[in-house]
């Protein structure tokens, strides 16, 4: 059964469908495009769903977690997987919990306060990357939807703060902390060429810093943020071009390991949200379809302000004696059941025909979808979750 026929046959809607075989095939292609000395971690915050984490196991080198909750959850699902622990505002409890887990291989330290707290709590060697908020003066991040760096943000350390951390790390009391290199996650939504320019900038900056201080860094984590184009569901980040560029970068830096930690670009494509049209209405010259569920299940289009791509699965049978509301060959806005005008999944999409009772299958719902949604708002039931293992059957 494929996604479409599964969505058509479900008795309970809405439902999330995850194609784990497709996920594995996609991540295998990503991996194959990357040179040796590039480690691929998965940023769990994009979607920490257990079966997805399990499906990724063995294909990614590890998982990036950004909270004590993610740490405990990911470690429980994939106990032998290496973890990198990031996130601003790590609490004393989170630091203590992470120190108890040998699976935590890297710490992404975000502030001097955190460095002090970690040094004070550490009773064994801990491998650290300093997360830097690099100024990106050449306009490289202009127009990028989500910039975490290159401007004032709560994320990471300004370059002069990195210098102060280096001084701290050389001082008494910091002996357990081993500085392995630099981490930078500066933006989300970058195409391969931009992403590559940014990676080169981070690697060069890191090498310069190390040279200036007589240090040897053996790794740089250049973050995630590889673009996902919701307007073009078939498009993919150009992993082969990115991989070739990284190979050139690494040729100039013998002994360096580059780590990536994408989230969205790995899992966005394997998730689908299936639902049914409850009503079709004409209002002041525009057509609206109201579906079961909404942005409390799939918040992605509301947070990003985009139209979530969907296909119509026509349902010929209409069981009721009253007229079937429909719209034909016109732009329709697809809304959910919430009592707010923000509950919009798709805006002004021209459909040949859409009727109450038809099903909609929303694509690209595998990342920042269910797990970022405000599930409790209006107290509608939760969706069902289904996992497909077809194609290579190796997802379990
Ligand atoms: C969110 C995040 C990622 C993943 O970003 P994507 O845009 O999903 O690839 C990676 N690293 C850090 C530090 C993050 O906060």
Domain residue limits, the chain: 82-262, 269-388
Condensed to tens digits (0 to 9), the pLDDT of residues 312-329 reads 999 999 999 999 999 999
The pTM for the full model equals 0.96
CATH topology of domain 82-262: TIM Barrel (3.20.20)
Which residue, judged by its Cα, is nearest atom 7 of ligand 1?
A: 225
Contact 173, 180 (CB under 8 A): no
Q: Active-site residues: which are they? A: 339
Residue 142: pLDDT band by 50, 70, 90 thresholds?
low
Which residue, judged by its Cα, is nearest atom 13 of ligand 1?
A: 185
Of 53-62, 108-117, 136-145, 286-295, which range is least confident?
136-145
Q: How far is the CA of 280 from the centre of ligand 1 (A)?
A: 38
Q: How far is the CA of 187 from the centre of ligand 1 (A)?
A: 8
In DSSP notation, 57-115 reads: BTTBSEEEE-SHHHHHHHHHHSTTS-EEE--SS--HHHHHHHHT-TTEEEEEE-SHHHH
pLDDT of the residue at 13: 98
In CATH terms, 269-388 corresponds, of 2.40.37.10, 3.50.50.60, 3.30.420.40, 3.40.1410.10, to 2.40.37.10
- Output the average pLDDT for the chain: 95
pLDDT of the residue at 149: 76
Q: Beta strand pairing status for 326-335 and 344-355?
A: antiparallel
Q: How far is the CA of 223 from the centre of ligand 1 (A)?
A: 6
From 64, 88, 157, 242, the mutation candidate for ligand 1 (largest count of ligand atoms within 8 A of CB) is: 64
pLDDT of the residue at 151: 86
The vertex-388 CA angle with 44 and 236, nearest 5°, equals: 55
Q: Beta strand pairing status for 146-147 and 187-188?
A: antiparallel
For the chain, strand residue ranges (E) read 15-19, 38-43, 62-65, 83-85, 104-109, 126-131, 146-147, 177-183, 187-188, 219-221, 257-260, 271-283, 286-291, 310-313, 326-335, 344-355, 359-362, 384-388
Q: How far is the CA of 48 from the centre of ligand 1 (A)?
A: 13
Say if residue 360's pLDDT is above 50: yes
SS3 category, 17: strand
Say if residue 138's pLDDT is above 80: no
Q: Which atom of ligand 1 is nearest to the CA of 148?
A: 15
Residue 212: phi and psi, rounded to 5, are: -60, -30
Average pLDDT over residues 171-190: 96
């Amino acid at each position: 059964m494929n996604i479409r026929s599964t969505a058509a046959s479900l008795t309970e809607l809405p439902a999330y469908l995850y194609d784990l075989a497709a996920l594995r095939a996609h991540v295998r292609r990503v991996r194959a495009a990357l040179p040796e000395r590039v480690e691929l971690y998965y940023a769990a915050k994009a979607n920490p769903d257990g079966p997805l984490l399990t499906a990724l196991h063995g294909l990614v080198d590890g998982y990036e977690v950004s909270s004590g909750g993610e740490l405990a959850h990911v470690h429980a699902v994939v106990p032998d997987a290496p973890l990198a622990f990031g996130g601003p505002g790590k609490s004393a409890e989170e630091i203590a919990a992470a120190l108890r887990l040998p699976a935590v291989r890297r710490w992404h330290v975000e502030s001097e306060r955190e460095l002090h707290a970690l040094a004070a709590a550490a009773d064994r060697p801990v491998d650290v990357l300093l997360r830097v908020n690099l100024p990106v003066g050449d306009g490289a991040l202009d127009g990028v939807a989500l910039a975490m760096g290159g401007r004032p943000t709560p994320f990471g350390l300004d370059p002069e703060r990195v210098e102060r951390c280096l001084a701290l790390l050389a001082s008494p009391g910091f002996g357990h902390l081993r500085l392995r290199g630099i981490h930078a996650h500066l933006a989300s939504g970058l195409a391969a060429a931009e992403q590559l320019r940014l990676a080169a900038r981070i690697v060069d900056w890191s090498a310069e810093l190390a040279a200036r201080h007589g240090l040897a860094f053996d790794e740089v984590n250049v973050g995630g943020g590889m673009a996902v184009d919701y307007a073009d569901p078939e498009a993919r980040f150009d992993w082969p071009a990115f991989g070739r560029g990284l190979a050139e970068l690494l040729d100039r830096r013998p002994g360096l390991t580059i780590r990536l930690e994408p989230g969205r670009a790995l899992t966005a494509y394997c998730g689908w949200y299936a639902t049914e049209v409850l009503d079709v209405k004409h209002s002041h010259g525009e057509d609206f379809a109201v579906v079961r569920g909404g942005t409390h299940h799939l918040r992605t289009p509301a947070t990003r302000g985009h139209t979530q791509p969907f296909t119509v699965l026509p349902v010929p049978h209409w069981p009721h004696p009253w007229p079937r509301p429909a719209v034909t060959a016109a732009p329709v806005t697809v809304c959910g059941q919430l009592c707010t005008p923000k509950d919009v999944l798709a805006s002004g999409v021209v459909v040949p025909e859409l009727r109450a009772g038809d099903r909609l299958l929303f694509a690209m719902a595998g990342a920042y979808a269910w797990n970022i949604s405000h599930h409790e708002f209006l107290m509608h039931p939760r969706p069902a979750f289904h996992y497909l293992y077809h194609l290579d059957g190796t997802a379990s």
